Structure 1
């Protein structure tokens, strides 16, 4: 799977969890401020990433996972290509 394919899969997953359309989100739009996500949604995103990519991501990384760009960076760090 290429990085582009992985990022597209992440975007689809995040949109499903946040219950928004893919055209409503950008790499830098903030989940909490722009999309009304709460901390439970953040935990759900983290759990889905771990499940889908079979990786262990520390919960303290949630502070970086405020938008797609942050999630892509965290996944790059913890998921083997």
Structure 2
């Protein structure tokens, strides 16, 4: 079974078109060739995969893998909270 952090990593690797060994928790997506459109693609795929909405202010934190995991965690918590 794939965990959420693993799935987030897989999405990022796929969309950045890089190998796992090329990306660290804090290596910047832009250093791997990501422009603003690629970041939007990562955001959209994360939203689809986890059935969440990533607010514009949160999207600014999609700069590295750690940031992506934190953004997904906060958006998931917000979605769960709003469902109550």
- Using structure 2 for the length normalisation, give the TM-score: 0.84
1:62 is displaced (CA, Å) by 2.0
- Give the 4+ runs in structure 1 shifted more than 6 A: none
The structure with the larger Rg is 2
Aligned residue runs from structure 1 range 1-81, under 5 A: 5-32=3-30, 34-80=31-77
Cα separation, 2, equivalents of 1:64 and 1:55: 16
- Using structure 1 for the length normalisation, give the TM-score: 0.87
RMSD over aligned Cα atoms: 1.8
Cα separation, 2, equivalents of 1:39 and 1:61: 14
Cα separation, 1, equivalents of 2:47 and 2:60: 16
1:59 is displaced (CA, Å) by 2.4
1:5 is displaced (CA, Å) by 1.4
